[in-house]
Homo-oligomer: A and B are copies of this chain.
Amino acid sequence: MAQTGRSRSILDIKASHLMSTAVSPLAPTSVPELPVIDGVRLATAAAGIRYQGRTDVLLALFDKGTTVAGVFTKSKCPSAAVDWCRAKLKKGVARALVVNSGNANAFTGKTGKTATALTAKIASSATGGSADQIFLASTGVIGEPLDATKFNGVLDDLAQKAEPGGWNEAARAIMTTDTFPKLATRTVKLGKAKVTINGIAKGAGMIAPDMATMLSFVFTDAPISATALQALLKSGVEDTFNAVTIDGDTSTSDTLLAFATGTATNAPKITRASDPRLKAFVKAFRAVLADLAEQVARDGEGARKLVEVLVEGATSKNSARKIAMSIANSPLVKTAIAGEDANWGRVVMAVGKAGEPANRDKLAIYFNGVRVAHKGMRDPSYDEVEVSSLMRQPKITIKVALGLGKGRDRVLTCDLTKEYVAINGDYRS
């Protein structure tokens, strides 16, 4: 694909790929070592889709019998790859996953559809799986045709060199404006067998509810049917990826796929998500999703503080979610956090605008555990020095107690800083 200076600034949905060279101050202090998952082999390459001097293609190969499930952006203008995966998910069988960064293949019209078909065909020929069993994800520039012929040869090489392991390299190959690779793992018993769940993700900006994943891929050796895996995934995202918001914007490409190779020795075959033997697995599966989702929030564009919004005492969980999202997406709340200001007035404002049941005179608001307002007024007893000190911490928890019912929820976000504007504003002048 010719990379012209002309198209760059106009077409790049993230004009400043790789401009954030500094790692987010909220990054985890260590990157986990992900164990091998039997039946999964990985390889990455620098195909020059857009970036120079870094990997931009990930190929994951799966053994026969691997099931797949997926959830996607709710955008009405999804990318061609999202369309492709949705269609192929019906059979629930996967032999390979091809992910590229640098070009989202979104808003590319018929050429986008052609590009997905060609990519799948090349991958099919390279890996031996049928094209219907190839899953695709693309992230990067929007509106620029993806030249799938670039995958010619590249995918053959990757299929040759794919090996168990290499998770860190895989997580790096799918990054765009991310400042650190995102990985998580859990090991847990399924029946008497030990099974593993590994996950990788990329995020940064444009993270919002309604399938808030950006790109994330989860892999397990547990033998779980596609139907059961789909149910696990759908319920799993609700309080993890769908409870993260950076700026309220939703990508055209958000994709979360889960693959189960079924290769774990002596593990019972699971066909229903409600199977009681799944209990520990479900917990671990959600922990992986939650871990990755939190890492996405920690890498929000320009983020300097991780913000946890807890809402309790709402009339329902759904109502609590709406109020929590209203707070988490409020530019005034987010700029106050950036300014280390325990500005509960703005929290009241965000509660009020959510449109959900709330009684001003029953509201209580806490910042990092200190009650600053209750019964519709400032709490006269709180210590300003203490609160000011707490607001300097890298993680801020805003708790709102509505005093109406038992509905509660939790949402993660980050602060809104000048760096966010700089990253996305691409100031030319």
B-binding residues in A (CB < 8 A): 6-7, 9-13, 15, 73-78, 106-111, 141-145, 205-206, 208, 210, 247-252, 329-332, 335-336, 338-346, 348-358, 360-361, 363, 372-373, 375-378, 384, 387, 392, 416-418, 420-422, 424-429
Q: What is the chain B residue whose CB lies nearest that of A10?
A: B342
Q: Is the CB of B208 within 8 A of A76?
A: no
Query: In the complex the two chains form, is B421's CB within 8 Å of A12's CB?
Result: no
Name which residue of chain B comes closest to A16, CB basis.
B339
Contact B332 A249 (CB under 8 A): yes
Given the complex of chains A and B, what is the CA–CA distance between A372 and B6 in angstroms? 13
Q: Is the CB of B107 within 8 A of A206?
A: no
How many copies of the polypeptide does the oligomer hold?
A: 2
Whether the pair A107, B77 counts as a contact (CB closer than 8 A) is no
A353 partner, pick from B107, B205, B249, B387, beta carbons under 8 A = B249
Q: Is the CB of A417 within 8 A of B426?
A: no
* Pair B76/A343 contact, Cβ less than 8 Å: no
**A375: contacting residue among B76, B109, B344, B421, CB under 8 A:** B109
**Chain B residues whose CB sits within 8 angstroms of the CB of A361 once the complex forms:** 109-110
Q: Which residues of B contact A335 (CB under 8 A)?
A: 420-421, 424-425
Determine the distance from Cα of A352 to Cα of B107 in the docked complex, in whole angstroms. 11
Query: Is the CB–CB distance between A349 and B252 below 8 Å?
Result: yes
**A345 and B143 form a contact (CB under 8 A):** yes
For A111, A350, A376, the residue with the greatest tally of chain B CB atoms inside 10 Å of its CB is A376
Determine whether the beta carbon of A10 is less than 8 Å from that of B424.
no
A-B contact pairs, 26 of them (CB 8 A): A10-B343, A10-B387, A11-B343, A11-B345, A12-B343, A73-B352, A76-B351, A76-B358, A107-B373, A107-B377, A142-B349, A143-B373, A143-B378, A210-B353, A248-B248, A248-B330, A248-B331, A252-B349, A331-B416, A335-B425, A336-B426, A338-B425, A339-B424, A340-B429, A418-B421, A420-B421
User: CB-nearest residue of chain B relative to A417?
Assistant: B421
Contact of A352 among B250, B357, B387, B420 (CB under 8 A): B250
Q: In the complex the two chains form, is A349's CB within 8 Å of B249's CB? A: yes
On whether the beta carbons of B363 and A10 are closer than 8 Å, the reply is: no
Complex interface: chain B residues within 8 A of A357 (CB)? 76
Q: Are A143 and B344 in contact (CB under 8 A)?
A: yes
Contacts of A206 in B (CB 8 A): 332, 349
Choose from B75, B111, B352 the contact partner of A75 (Cβ within 8 Å): B352
- Interface-central residue, A111, A340, A342, by most chain B CB under 10 Å: A340
Q: Is A11 in contact with B144, judged by CB distance below 8 angstroms?
A: no
Chain B residues near A74 (CB, 8 Å)?
353, 355
The answer to whether A250 and B353 touch (CB under 8 A), given A417-B425, A425-B338, A426-B341, is yes
Cβ-closest chain B residue relative to A387: B10
Which among B346, B355, B417 is the interface contact of A76 at CB below 8 angstroms?
B355
Q: Are B142 and A107 in contact (CB under 8 A)?
A: no
CA of A333 to CA of B116, assembled, Å: 27
Q: How far is the CA of A326 from the CA of B219 in the complex (A)?
A: 35
Residues on the B chain within 8 Å of A249, using CB: 330-332, 346, 349-350, 353
Q: How far is the CA of A108 from the CA of B349 in the complex (A)?
A: 13
Task: Tell me if A76 and B336 are in contact (CB < 8 A).
Answer: no
Q: How far is the CB of A60 from chain B (nearest CB, A)?
A: 27
Q: In the complex, what distance in Å separates the CA atom of A230 from the CA atom of B22?
A: 56
Least Cβ–Cβ distance between A361 and chain B, in angstroms: 6
Nearest residue (CB) in B for A205 is B332
| A420 near B331: Cβ-Cβ < 8 Å | yes
A203 and B203 CA atoms in complex are apart in Å by 35
